[in-house]
A and B are shown apart, each in its own frame.
Chain A
Amino acid sequence: MAARGHVQDPNDRRLRPIYDYLDNGNNKMAIQQADKLLKKHKDLHCAKVLKAIGLQRTGKQDEAYALAQEVAALEPTDDNSLQALTILYREMHRPELVTKLYEAAVKKVPNSEEYHSHLFMAYARVGEYKKMQQAGMALYKIVPKNPYYFWSVMSLIMQSISAQDENLSKTMFLPLAERMVEKMVKEDKIEAEAEVELYYMILERLEKYQEALDVVRGKLGEKLTSELQSRENKCMAMYKKLCRWPECNALSRRLLLKNSDDWQFYITYFDSVFQLIDESWAPPLEEEQSLEGEVHYSIEQAVKFIEERITEESKSARPLRGPYLAKLELIRRLRCRGCNDEYKLGDPEELMFQYFKKFGDKPCCFTDLKVFVDLLPSSQYTKFISQLLEVIPLSATAESEVALPADIKALQQHLCVVQLTRLLGIYHAMDKKEKLTAVRELMLRYRHGLEFGEETAVWQCLTFLEEGLSHSPSNAQFKLLLIRIYCRLGAFEPVAELYSSLDAKHIQHDTIGYLLTRYAESLGHYAAASQSCNFALRFFHSNQKDTSEYIIQAYKYGAFEKIPEFIAFRNRLNSSLHFAQVRTERMLLDLLLEANISTSLEESIKSMSLSPEEDDIPWKDLRDNRDLTVLFNWDPKDRDISEEHRKLSLEEETMWLRIRSLTLRLVSGLPTLSHTIQPKNSEETAENGVSSKIDTIRSLLQQLEAAVDSGKKFLEQKIQYPVLGPPPTRMAGFFSNGSCQCQTSLFYLVSDIYELDTNGLEDSAEIQERIGNSFKSLIERLTDLFNKCKGDLIEVRDGTLKTQPNLLENLVFFVETISITLWVSSYCDSVLRPFKSNLQKKKKKKKESSVAMPPVFTHFLDYVTELQTLTSNVIDHIKGLEIILTALKLEELSLKDTLLLQEEKKFTKTVQGKVQSSYHHSVQEIGELLKKRLDTIKKLKI
């Protein structure tokens, strides 16, 4: 707990035991102790707040809140109460209440620096920028310390950043901020580096680049010392903005003389040289060439400069890549301008060869050269590769059919050549036999080439990778590849283990969590799916509170430029695509596993605070934070993940999310239609209550239809992502196996049943007929869906192992669809039941046996019976799958795979065993859930 005022205060002594209990997590004792104390000292408000903290932590939020408000209403001004309330409100996620608290406190104690500063921070936590500006000034008036003044200035900048109206931000907030700083400059009151940084930030945002430059180069600029090259970097940024190419050039040249390995300055250097050439710039005769000294403005000078860097490099203790790559970059730029080899820089092929000789044993040689392969004519690819191979010391040994590298250095070099071979597309041009030979060869070199296509190749990949992992147990790339390939095979069990061994956490839940969440649920590993959603959600939820804390820290330390950065970061996390996905899928999953099994659908929905009207997904601002390049890729450009792929994948994910979110909202609307919640005792309630609910449902249904349509259109493009690129969504399966049709028709049925409900049984023959037909076609569709689940998950055919992982995905969709069917059916049941009991009452009164049963009752009963039969059949099918999977003795299987060595076959067995066990696990979880669903059908017999 926070620091506690003066030790002498008797109240502190009295409160201490409560603090201690709270600190030790003993909340019950804290509450008791507080009660005891309050009996003796009724006015010890802080004890009440501490009690409230105890209540909050034991789940009694409402009581805690009430108690806190009691104290807050007294507008306390003692440190203990204020601090305790601040802690409590933070734990309640109600930071806005802290502002109220300190607003009252500063009114009572207007000269307290401490309370004013707490008030400022409280505003900062909730982002009340205007009030921050005022609070900052109020503080400065009480205690004229510079930081307070500049807090106020920064708050103006924040107002300008958050203003919707850009004009307002440029004409009002920023100029005001500028004037505030200018005043301090004139009075010579600027003290700290942070203040200069802030001044620079304002001028930059106002696009007053010349003024910004003057500040940085002037006396104030001397304060910019913390960050390395802070002044130079800022000057450079301004020169660029002002198109001051001579200065850009001279400064980058100077910085390169200092460090000839810094790539960003080569880029600026080249950019500026060519700009100057294009402008036919000539140095002024009298003055200096530029503010930053000597300028290069011809190709000859640039060539000479780069050659000099290479000469210098040869004298340096550690080989530097920069100068050599700069030379290639210069050739590339000259070629773009139509120059061929007028400047005698050399042949790129030869230069790249020399580069390889110098740096080929560095793992980054590949990515370095990748940037420049376009300089090679494609006719030279094969020659280039063999030229590289010739210089690697490989020696044939007695045991091996291929020549192997003699040492680690040679191995690295060889690896680089293999990667370049792949990049140049030489492997892709091979036929299947050549590819397999190449793979074989790579295998012998303990390099794992991956060529997808046939299933046997997939098993081989897994074998090689598992073998690789057994030798290099912490190789993340092996693990990531295994994860992707096991998922393709529909085996999630090994994936969970591999992923957890990556020890991914915190932000990685957002960046690579998709590897888990895309597959866990869709493959029937419900428990694992729940868990991975939970991890991700815990991370996202703590973000809001965490970032606010550090925004405040940034004010305290004067790291002003970090404030907008932190806020942008928080927004980026809050609008994460993955966050929206796990939020939605988590709720769907909870309903799937619990609604009408352990708790009623209505209660489940209430506990999630779900409502059909509410949409909390920031559709327009969704950010794709997935790290799609976490897997290395050595493929040629046209096979690598492109920007286009990213864009399309985000589009697909968003569409699928829209479908899922609408489904969730539609389901959450079901209980609102039932009489049990909204008794239909008067017309008015129907007007304002249920009838508007059905309108919501109908409108959502329309939106769902539209989302499905655009999803289908999207899929017509038949986009193929690269094998290791973004995984496709479940949308294609959802459409092709018929779940989509089933689910939409279910929501239409809801609308019909509602109509029946409002019209009554008489004069509703047409509606009853329609409902009857819907029941029938629904059963047909569900049967079709079941047919798509039939078949063997794994079997041996022609000596190879064949799998059909899509059957698993279809089964999972079946279970989900049947669950929605049952929720809708139970709504149906809730409508029909009162009708039936009314009829029976009438029957008794009239003592007639001839009161006719309306057709909808028979339709419903038939439908429920068929539903029950169908579900039992599916359960039997799943049992069958389980038996086959248990009986399948893969270890006795001798696959006709002549490519594998005896030792490797051991790993093949491991892989097959893992897949088999994972399928078994999936089938079990799916089967158990379906059995629970079957039990709920029995309740539907009206």
Chain B
Amino acid sequence: MTSLRAFTCDDLFRFNNINLDPLTETYGIPFYLQYLAHWPEYFIVAEAPGGELMGYIMGKAEGSVAREEWHGHVTALSVAPEFRRLGLAAKLMELLEEISEKKGGFFVDLFVRVSNQVAVNMYKQLGYSVYRTVLEYYSASNGEPDEDAYDMRKALSRDMEKKSIIPLPHPVRPEDIE
């Protein structure tokens, strides 16, 4: 029982119950506007019948087609605490994959903190696997060490041989990724 629709600027005024979660980043306005201007179809919000925002996914399409790197990317995915355990994140991921399929992407990828086991397991259940580790991708502000990220991928139907998800043998630095 969820209404799925395009995320709009006005939702920024109402997404506190989602964004006050400690693992969800609230970005500056330009960041959201950039996504809304460039990839509006990739920014979807779920709304409950009472009008509360339940969660949202924000993503984009990027990469070179010639090098078979054209893909969908999940930038943010978050569900408010009271709407968890309903499979909403899975539904939103499904939508993003569907859009990426339509756009002819080779795969979908995302970054996740290596410590966020709950998320890593969820993505694994949804068919994602670790493609590579990105060292010190998440910078910490309070003097703690920076945290590594997993770059997780799932091949789409265009990548018939699933070449895009063959894991890299060595971790990479953030500056080496595109």
Contact = CB atoms under 8 A, between A and B. Distances in A.
A in complex with B: yes
Interface of A: 225-228, 230, 261-264, 318, 320-322, 325, 361-364, 366-368, 370-371, 474, 476, 502-508, 510-512, 542-543, 546-547, 549-550, 553-554, 556-557, 559, 561-562, 565-566, 568-569, 572, 625, 627, 630, 632
A566 B33 CA distance: 8
A367 B51 CA distance: 10
A519 B85 CA distance: 37
A627 B50 contact: no
Interface stretch (B36-44, B63-71, B109-117): B36-44
Interface string B1-25: 1111110111011101101111000
B83 interface: yes
B98 interface: yes
A364 B48 contact: yes
Interface string B40-57: 110010001110101000
A263 B26 contact: no
Q: How large is the interface on B (under 10, 10 to 19, 20 to 34, 35 or more residues)?
A: 35 or more
Contacts of B29: 506-507, 542-543, 546-547
A228 B52 contact: no
B20 A476 contact: yes
Interface string B61-90: 000000000000000000001111111000
A363 B37 contact: no
A505 B3 contact: no
Given A228-B95, A566-B9, A559 B33 contact: no
Contact of B2 (A263, A504, A559): A263
Contact of B6 (A227, A362, A476, A632): A227
Contacts, number: 141
Contact of B12 (A320, A364, A507): A507
22 contacts: A225-B102, A226-B41, A228-B41, A262-B4, A263-B2, A263-B3, A264-B5, A362-B86, A363-B83, A363-B84, A367-B82, A507-B29, A542-B29, A546-B33, A547-B29, A553-B33, A559-B36, A559-B38, A562-B37, A562-B40, A627-B16, A630-B17
Contacts of B52: 367
Nearest to A625: B13
Contacts of A542: 28-29
A323 to B, nearest CB: 9
Given A263-B3, A322-B1, A627-B14, A550 B34 contact: yes
B26 A505 contact: yes
Given A228-B41, A368-B1, 8 more contacts: A226-B99, A261-B1, A320-B1, A325-B49, A367-B50, A550-B33, A569-B12, A630-B16
B37 A557 contact: yes
Contacts of B33: 546-547, 549-550, 553, 566
B30 interface: yes
Contacts of B21: 474, 476
Nearest to B42: A226
A82 B157 CA distance: 47
Contacts of A630: 16-17, 20
Contacts of B54: 364
Given A225-B102, A261-B1, A550-B33, A506 B27 contact: yes
Would you list the 4 A-B pairs with minimal beta carbon distance, nearest first?
A550-B33, A569-B9, A476-B20, A474-B22
Contacts of B22: 474, 503
Which of B12, B21, B54 gathers most chain A CB within 10 Å?
A: B12
A371 B38 contact: no
A318 B87 contact: yes
Given A228-B99, A264-B3, A510 B13 contact: yes
Contacts of A553: 33-34, 37-38
Contacts of A226: 40-41, 99, 102-103
Nearest to A554: B37
Given A226-B99, A502-B20, A546 B30 contact: yes
A370 B34 CA distance: 37
Contacts of A225: 102
A362 B1 CA distance: 13
Contacts of B2: 261-263, 322
A371 B51 CA distance: 11
B168 to A, nearest CB: 31
B37 to A, nearest CB: 4
A364 B26 contact: no
A476 B81 CA distance: 10
Contact of B85 (A230, A362, A503, A505): A362
A361 B2 CA distance: 18
Contacts of B17: 630
A4 B58 CA distance: 33
Contact of A504 (B26, B40, B83): B26
Contacts of A561: 40
Contact of A512 (B9, B16, B82, B83): B16
A511 B16 contact: yes
Nearest to B6: A227
Nearest to B84: A363
B143 to A, nearest CB: 16
Nearest to A368: B1
Contact of A227 (B40, B82, B83, B85): B40
Nearest to A557: B38
Contact of A565 (B8, B13, B38, B87): B8
A46 B29 CA distance: 32
Given A262-B2, A364-B83, A554-B37, A568 B9 contact: yes
